Amino acid sequence: MTIAVYPGTFDPITNGHVDIATRAAALFDHLVVAVYDRPLKTLLFSTAEREAMTREALKDISNVTVQSYLGLTVNLAQSVGARVIVRGLRVLSDFELEFQMALTNRKLAPDVDTVCLMTGQRYAFLSSSIAKEIAMVGGCVDGMVPPHVAAALKDKFRRLGAAAGSKVQIVSLRD
């Protein structure tokens, strides 16, 4: 049985993430979608919220489980018996970072390989940051994120706007 891990912050999960997860699930016997708990970036959603949204988005894929994790991705991969880490590539600039991470992971865990899947053309522009930025200013994110995520974004920014006197400020929107 081949197990793969698809890690990310999923803040929030987008239709591009769903596309990669769906395609990876077709390639491997079991896919663990791993929501990273403490990335070095400012998050909009808590780990529990990101995990719940991801689980809901992928609930119809029978060989997918969703869990959060701390620490090194290769350590998670080894702990669940995965031999593969799945990464998605949107644009050429993604390749440099993913190549560096794959080599680092290979150094740390020679028994774990990285497989990169190219995003579907219709999602090449899409990132969590773009979806958040559009939602933050009241734009429509239909088709970019699952419907439950669009509702969560709208609600989160409504609550943040009310709490901040309608002056929502996000320090970092980088993916």
Active site residues: 17, 41, 90, 128
User: What confidence category does residue 49 fall into, taking pLDDT thresholds of 50, 70 and 90?
Assistant: very high
119-130 per-position pLDDT tens digit: 999 999 999 999
The answer to whether 155 and 138 have CB atoms below 8 angstroms apart is no
For residues 89-106, give the mean pLDDT: 92
Q: What is the mean pLDDT of the chain?
A: 91
pTM of the full predicted structure?
0.89
Rg of the chain over Cα atoms, rounded to whole angstroms, equals 16
Q: State residue 38's pLDDT score.
A: 83
The pLDDT value recorded for residue 162 is: 53
In this prediction, residue 170 carries a pLDDT of 46
Checking if the pLDDT of 17 tops 60, the result is yes
